[in-house]
A and B are shown apart, each in its own frame.
Chain A
Amino acid sequence: MATTSVGSIDFPQRKAARLRFQDRRRLFLIALAVPAVVYVVLIALWPLAQGIWYSFFDYNLLRGGGRRTFVGLANYAELWTDSTARRALINTFVFTFAAVALEFVFGLCLALLLWREGRFNRICLAFLLIPVTITPVVVGLIFRALLAVDYGFFGYYLAEWGISGPRGFLASTSSALPVVILIDVWEWTPLVALILLAGLKSLPGDILEAASADGATALQRFRLVVLPLLLPTVFLALVLRVMDAFRVFDIIFVTTGGGPGDATNSLMVYGVKQGLQFFNIGFASAIGNVAILCIAVLCAAFTLLIRRADVRANET
């Protein structure tokens, strides 16, 4: 595109001038990008590299005077051999998949409900932004109080009416994880809805009209026209949520602390305990690195899936 605008006849001098211009342009773009790259490399990559290095050592700052002993991959092996760590890893995957899936489904429904232009919907949207902006620690504490079985507004009646067990949802190993997932869904569904709504609103109106003129039913229209066009937005929403859901800490930390037993222990809750409480740097670094790896793999998988769906949508 850029070349067409300069002119159709290329004189030699002009060509040289354009080349110089392209060089200058490249330099200019590099100059714009360099500060951010340098900054990130300096401040994020250096500690990250140290984290990778430490993960091969038995390194505890509170014991043995902070001595480092090389242990190879033992810290990584422990993530699977140690029952607590393994449970945390599994919980984190369950949490991520369930929470993101529910947030996506509910978020999409909510976005479709809000799609219609109008004052009423705008006001609803504004109110729905509130949970997104409340500090996650506070969200966790609110629900912990509401679900408390002896005093909580919800918890008391849920137990009284026999919906939850007598000890409440958060104190049972079978229901604690689902409840924590639902709290996360409560907080983040509006954000997903917002992103999807933004996508819906930017869909070209003529295509939608053409589809309804063809006599397609609402469901057909949605599946065949809306969804394929919405894919990039879906991608953004999913990637954002997967990244944050996999690192879930605040909500679990304040509602259950990872309990009862290890029922809601997540990788980050466990990692923060190992790293920032016991200062078990080697093991904590290994946990952090595994988390990065998992998120990267999940996001890559999403990219591939979306791209394939995109290709398929374009073929039909």
Chain B
Amino acid sequence: MSTASLLKLGVAGLVYVSIAGAALAADKPLAGITLNLASQNDQFAPVIAKLAPKFEEETGATVKVDILDYGSLLTKTQADFIGHTKNYDLVTMDIVWAGQYADNKYTVDLTDWIKRDADEMKLDDIYPSTIKYIGQYDGKQVAFPFAGYAAVLAYRKDLLDAAGLKVPETAEEFVETAIKLTDPDKKQYGFVANGQKGPAVAQDWLQYNAQLGGSVLDASGKPAINSEANVNSLKVYKELFDKAAPPGAVDYDWGGREESFRQGLVAMMETWSVGAPGYYDPSMSKIVDSVAITTTPVAKGLPVKYGLGGWGMGINADIDPAQQEAAWKFIKWLTSPEIQKEFNMEGAGSYIRKSTLADPDLNKKFPYLPVIAKSFENADGDYRPRIPQYPEIQDLLGTAVNAVLVGGVEPKAALDEVQEKAVKLF
């Protein structure tokens, strides 16, 4: 080969590279854009951080994930919205914040964009319940679901078999079974739930309260916290703590509760499906071979409904339109079938799509996915009322229920006091 032809080859190569470069630039419409994402430190957070470079590869936009604990996330995002400081472009929104978001117009209303891009997003593959509850409020779509959680019942096959009991199907059976399975001498407990003051105990009690037929709001949407049904359900909740829960449970938050189950202390636990990958992970769990998951029990005579929770992604209303469009692209990308699969293969434990829950690879890895599918089809995301006043009501309940559990306060008196304070918020 002569020098000239080598040179030619080199030039051709250069031209080729520059053409490819141009093509690449056209492929990356979001080059130069940075999206700041405030994310709750749940299982999905490290996975989003891990997948973000892939989004950058495809579109050119950098996504910076700021991982925060629940309290800091709430404080920082609200401060950002109130102060119009545009710190964050994207925020993860807990299902129960929808009312506050809609009321204060913190985030972009996504209704029209969803309609516009319905086909591209394969919208009919997404469970309508997740779209409805995670982000829809007052006719606005303040966030788009990316991590739906189902309330499920996790239990220990070995302990139930040994006692000759079957998995409880009604809330009444659940209480009975839990008490029967408890044997403090063997350090074996039938039940565990959050007892810690604050959001932890409030949210778990609300779950049991709904199962036992209670409700925090009356038919007209006003607080009815000291209703007879609620007082009774609180009595049952206390009974469960006294007779069936590990002694430390009055101080457990989600972490403590999950840990006690993974350590094999507890026979049955109602929990969010997001924690389930952990039970099957031998590096964290001592019950890998004996755990099973099913739908939560329901009260006798009540319509079959399963609790729905989880996180949506909202777009800060203060940022400029180009930035908002880019943020929307990220949401579409994150909720697309391919990424949802990858997201969950990495252990995010967060589902919104029928196809993801039916995926054979995922089902091989996580055998309980049909339970989540069944729950999503009969979901109730309103047992924790998603009203603007929810954070305050949750705080009041968080103190009152905890006070009842540790003793010294009567359920009726505690809920009377909450009612009195809650009425002032409306």
A interface with B by C-beta (< 8 Å): 61-63, 66, 83-84, 148-151, 155, 159, 166-168, 170-173, 256-262, 273, 276-279
Give the docked Cα–Cα distance between A278 and B396 (Å): 12
Query: Which residues of the partner chain A approach B256 to less than 8 Å between Cβ atoms?
Result: 148
User: Complex: how many Å from CA A170 to CA B406?
Assistant: 10
- Residues 260-298 of B contacting A (Cβ, < 8 Å): 260, 263, 265
Shortest B256–chain A CB gap in Å is 7
Selected contact of A278 from candidates B246, B260, B391, CB within 8 Å: B391
Q: Are A63 and B388 in contact (CB under 8 A)?
A: yes
Q: Scoring B residues 370 to 405 as 1 if CB is less than 8 Å from chain A, else 0, what string do you get?
A: 000000000000000000100110010001001101
Task: List B contacts of A155 (CB < 8 A).
Answer: 248
**Min distance, Cβ B312 to any Cβ of chain A, angstroms:** 19
Is there contact, CB below 8 Å, between B408 and A167? no
- Looking at the assembled complex, report how far the CB atom of B94 sits from the nearest CB atom of chain A, in whole angstroms: 13
Q: How far is the CB of B415 from chain A (nearest CB, A)?
A: 14
User: Judging by beta carbons under 8 Å apart, are B197 and A261 in contact?
Assistant: yes
Contact yes or no, B406 A260, CB < 8 A:
yes
21 of the cross-chain contacts (CB-CB < 8 Å) are: A84-B399, A148-B256, A149-B247, A150-B246, A155-B248, A159-B247, A167-B251, A168-B247, A171-B251, A171-B406, A172-B406, A260-B197, A260-B403, A260-B405, A260-B406, A261-B197, A261-B402, A261-B403, A277-B75, A277-B391, A277-B395
Contacts of B407 in A (CB 8 A): 173
What B residues does A159 contact at CB under 8 A?
A: 247
Task: Give Cα distance in the complex from A283 to B205, angstroms.
Answer: 29
What residues of chain A lie closer than 8 Å to B195, measured between beta carbons?
A: 171
Q: Nearest Cβ in chain A — how far from B241, in angstroms? A: 9
- Looking at the assembled complex, report how far the CB atom of A267 sits from the nearest CB atom of chain B, in whole angstroms: 16
Cβ of B406 and Cβ of A256 under 8 Å apart? Answer: no
Say yes or no: A260 contacts B402, CB within 8 Å: yes
Encoded as 1 (CB less than 8 Å from any A CB) or 0, chain B from 106 to 142 comes to 0000000000000000000000000000000000000
When the two chains form their complex, are residues B247 and A259 in contact, meaning their CB atoms are under 8 A apart? no
Tell me the bound Cα distance from A66 to B405 in angstroms: 36
Look across to chain B and name the residue whose beta carbon is closest to the beta carbon of A150.
B248
Q: Are B406 and A62 in contact (CB under 8 A)?
A: no
Determine which residue in B82, B198, B248 has the highest number of CB atoms from chain A within 10 A of its CB, and name it. Answer: B248
Closest to B253 in A: A257
Closest to A265 in B: B399
Closest to A260 in B: B406
**Set of chain A residues within 8 Å of B104, measured between Cβ atoms:** 62
Our count of residue pairs bridging A and B at CB distance below 8 angstroms stands at 89
Say yes or no: B246 contacts A173, CB within 8 Å: no
B15 at the binding interface (Cβ < 8 Å): no
Q: Are A261 and B406 in contact (CB under 8 A)?
A: yes
A256-B197, A273-B395 known; A149-B406 Cβ under 8 A:
no
Q: Is the CB of A150 within 8 A of B260?
A: yes
Docked Cα-Cα span, A155 to B408, in Å, equals: 22
B interface bracket (residues with beta carbon within 8 Å of A): 35 or more
A277 and B407 CA atoms in complex are apart in Å by 28
**For residue B71, which residues in chain A have a CB less than 8 angstroms away from its CB?**
277
Are the CB atoms of A259 and B198 closer together than 8 Å? yes
The 7 closest A-B pairs by CB, nearest first: A259-B197, A261-B403, A150-B248, A149-B248, A260-B406, A166-B247, A171-B250
Query: Which residues of the partner chain A approach B198 to less than 8 Å between Cβ atoms?
Result: 257, 259
* Nearest CB of chain A from residue B9's CB, rounded to whole Å: 62
Is A66 a contact partner of B75 (Cβ separation < 8 A)?
Answer: no
Contacts of A260 in B (CB 8 A): 197, 250-251, 402-403, 405-406
Q: Which residue of the partner chain, among A61, A151, A256, A262, contacts B82 with CB atoms under 8 Å?
A: A61
Question: Contacts A166-B247, A171-B248, A259-B198: A277 and B408 contacting too (C-beta < 8 A)?
Answer: no
Chain B residues, CB < 8 A from A66: 82
* B182 on the A face (CB < 8 A): no
Quick one: given A259-B197, A262-B399, are A170 and B251 in contact (CB under 8 Å)? Answer: yes
B82 to chain A, nearest CB (A): 5
Question: Which chain B residue lies CB-closest to A255?
Answer: B251
CA distance A62 to B407 in the complex (A): 34
Inter-chain contact B247/A167, CB cutoff 8 Å: yes
Whole-angstrom distance between the Cβ of A258 and the nearest chain B Cβ:
6
Are A257 and B248 in contact (CB-based, < 8 A)? no
Asked whether, in the complex, the Cβ of B247 is within 8 Å of the Cβ of A150, the reply is: yes
Apart from A148-B256, A257-B198, A277-B391: 18 A-B pairs, beta carbons within 8 A? A62-B104, A83-B417, A148-B248, A148-B251, A150-B248, A166-B247, A167-B251, A168-B248, A171-B251, A173-B408, A260-B250, A260-B251, A260-B406, A261-B403, A278-B391, A278-B392, A279-B78, A279-B82
- Which residues does chain A contribute within 8 Å of B51, judged by CB atoms? none
**B177 at interface (Cβ–Cβ under 8 A)?**
no
Residues of A within 8 A of B12 (CB): none
- Smallest beta-carbon distance A141→chain B, Å: 11
Q: Residue on A with the closest CB to B408? A: A173
Residues of A within 8 A of B100 (CB): 62
Find out whether the CB atom of B248 lies under 8 angstroms from the CB atom of A258: no
Q: Which residues of A contact B247 (CB under 8 A)?
A: 149-150, 159, 166-168
Q: A204: shortest Cβ distance to chain B, in Å?
A: 52
Q: Which residues of B contact A262 (CB under 8 A)?
A: 399, 403
* B406 pairs with A167, CB closer than 8 A: yes
Contact between A261 and B409, CB atoms less than 8 A apart: yes
B33 CB within 8 Å of chain A = no
